[in-house]
Amino acid sequence: MRTVKPSPLFTEVEGKVECGVCNRRCRIPNGQWGYCSVRFNFDNKLYTASYGDLSAIESRPIEVKPFFHYWPGSTSLTFSTWSCNFDCPWCQNHHLSRAKPNPLAASYVSPKSLVDMAVKSGDMGLCVSFNEPTMLFEYCLDVFPLARSRGLYCCFVSNGFMTTKALQMLAQAGLDGLKVDIKGDEEVYEKHIGVKGGEELVWRTVSEAKRMGLHVEVVFLIVNGVSDDEDCIRTVIEKHLKYAGPETPIHFTRYYPAYRFRNPPTLIEVIDRAYTMAKEAGVLYPYVGNIPGHPGFHTYCPSCGNPVIKRFQYGVYEVKLTEDNKCMYCKTPIPITGSAQATKRSFKLFI
């Protein structure tokens, strides 16, 4: 079974193994599985059952993640596996996040094959997305060095609940971009995600990633009836400024009904209010998401106010930056990782 591999991040505690990949830190008895149903204890060693078991592979614009300041206009080979360490009631990819890996029926894509696929398709990088990317932690430790050797960037779209040690290992392997989904304040994490202390742990990941030099962007899906009150929004903005800083982009995205959650879509006025609150609080690069055609998709120079990157829903159509990523109008530096370009193509499905 090629998708079953040893996991390097565990300790033995009282006859069990404690998984060190995420902050649940499951203590798993011999022969049992952790919360995520991806890692298990066999003979007091930790194993993953999802190594190279990819549920989806697709070339996608980086803006879809969304990353707006990270190689704008590029495409990344985006891939995923199964399961998750959260159980968000509104998960849009629940067909992946609630499914468990099955090594007996799994397909397998080797690290080299995946990197070759990205290079052949003309992608500028790799992105682990669709379900929580730490479900592929062990696989990424092997994939990322190969990708970097071929000149590809490597990024995660994550809930941010990984341990600091896991983040360090990923960064050492080649992870250089991290988008973190913030669920809301501590009440949201406890009541709806079932994780006590999750808010601080996720913001700690944001802070640590910044300290390590990774490119970081934050997304806050504002859910109608859950995280759409001004107190919750204000808390997220305050934490963003504290842990990520004013130059780190934050995306306020609109919720739509999905999975077990049937509340109506979040009001557009709430998203607009969050955007305004962030700007008034000192966030330099707030964005709006899941509202096609909204002017909050664009990047504006914080000095002169002119749009320097214009976007449609799934890409870039105009760039007004110098070669060294300064505003073309007033020469203010804009914090962009990589170079910005107009999007040349959209989606290409492999699995």
**pLDDT digits 0-9 by tens, 71-117:** 999 999 999 999 999 999 999 999 999 999 999 999 999 999 999 99
pLDDT in tens, 72-83: 999 999 999 999
Spatial distance between the Cα atoms of 154 and 150, rounded to a whole number of angstroms: 11
Q: Residue 349: what pLDDT?
A: 74
**What CA–CA distance (Å, rounded) separates 347 from 183?**
27
Q: What is the pLDDT of residues 170-220, one digit of tens each?
A: 999 999 999 999 999 999 999 999 999 999 999 999 999 999 999 999 999
* Residue 104 three-state SS: coil
pTM assigned to the model:
0.97
- pLDDT for residue 229 is more than 80: yes
Q: Is 309 in contact with 321 (CB distance < 8 Å)? A: yes
Per the omega criterion (within 30 degrees of 0), is the bond before 66 cis?
Answer: yes
* For residue 346, pLDDT beyond 80: no
Percent of the chain with pLDDT over 70: 99
Q: Indicate if the pLDDT at residue 313 is higher than 90.
A: no
- What pLDDT digit, counting tens, does each position of 253-310 carry? 999 999 999 999 999 999 999 999 999 999 999 999 999 999 999 999 999 999 999 9
Task: Kindly list the structural domains of the chain, giving each domain's residue range(s) and its CATH number in brackets, ordered by start.
Answer: 5-48 (no CATH), 56-304 (3.20.20.70), 305-344 (no CATH)
pLDDT of residue 249: 99
Mean pLDDT of 235-245: 99
Report pLDDT for 260.
97
- Please report the sign of the dihedral spanned by the C-alpha atoms of residue 74, residue 79, residue 85, residue 91: positive
Confidence of residue 351 (pLDDT cuts 50, 70, 90): low
